[in-house]
Amino acid sequence: MRLKDYDDDDGKRVWLSDDELARLIDEAETPHQRLAFLLAGRVGLRRSEITGVCPEDLVEGPTGDHIRIWEDYAKRDKYREPPVPSEVVTIAETLAYQQDDDEPLIGVAGSTVYRWVRRAAERLEDETDDRGWSYLDVHDLRRTWGTYLLEQGVIPSVVMSWGGWEDWETFRQHYLGEFSPEAIKRERGRVEYLEGGDENTEIVHPGTMPSESGQHTAD
């Protein structure tokens, strides 16, 4: 877990490791909660978008499974299509079995989704004795998702399209300049006197050229 102070607000920004995100998702107590956690942490939806997802918004095409997120659900004049993992499709199909295609799958207020995340985080804080969980909010799951995609090599413009970011400067400031717990572990592994880093990271000594596998890339 990585924490960072907000510039003007109390609390902290949180980036979860992939294992921590998986643990949070596993804390879901119902299929509706699990779907909400997945839509935030694996699809990058905002809290208000999570509560509006309907069965008809899930689509399959030549690029795989996607979800249509409408900026104005009533007008339906602008949308984006982030990709979704197969588990989202499976849960959505199960929940949609006895409801209309245009009926929200989760069917709760955004404040309820917030409480779900907070309660799950509180249980993990008790279990791990890590105070960092006390700062976790729904938006931190989206933040974790966006940073993870960039570190996996997804083109920034594609991440912006999937996540609904239109202002390049805002995106650059809050995402391109950030890094995940996995990145910290990887870079820690490059420091010989530190323990607990990535054992597979190649250590490059001064005066030597890194091999192709150990080079950093700018993208």
Please check the confidence at residue 217 and state whether its pLDDT lies above 50: no
> Residue 3, SS3?
strand
CATH of the domain at 14: 1.10.443.10
Please check the confidence at residue 207 and state whether its pLDDT lies above 80: no
Q: Let me know if residue 205 belongs to a domain.
A: no
What is the per-residue pLDDT for 74? 54
Q: How many domains does the chain have?
A: 1
Residues 103-124 as b/e (b if ≥16 CB within 10 A, e otherwise) read ebbbeeebebbeebbeebbeeb
CB 53 within 8 A of CB 104: yes
CB 39 within 8 A of CB 203: no
Mean pLDDT of the chain: 86
Please check the confidence at residue 40 and state whether its pLDDT lies above 80: yes
Closest CA to 163 of 142, 136, 177, 179: 142
What is the per-residue pLDDT for 173? 81
Cα 171 to its chain centre, rounded Å, is: 15
Give 97's strand partners. Answer: none
Q: Could you report the per-residue pLDDT of 55-87, keeping only the tens digit for each?
A: 999 999 999 999 999 876 555 667 899 999 999
Q: Let me know if residue 197 belongs to a domain.
A: no
What is the per-residue pLDDT for 196? 59
Q: Let me know if residue 81 belongs to a domain.
A: yes
Q: Which amino acid is at 192?
A: E
Q: Could you report the per-residue pLDDT of 161-200, keeping only the tens digit for each?
A: 999 999 998 888 888 878 888 888 888 888 888 875 555 5
Domain range enclosing 41: 2-176
Q: Let me know if residue 214 belongs to a domain.
A: no
Q: Let me know if residue 18 belongs to a domain.
A: yes
**How sure is the predictor about 98, in pLDDT bands with cuts at 50, 70 and 90?**
confident
Instruction: Provide, rounded to the nearest whole percent, the portion of the chain with pLDDT above 90.
Output: 65
Q: Let me know if residue 100 belongs to a domain.
A: yes
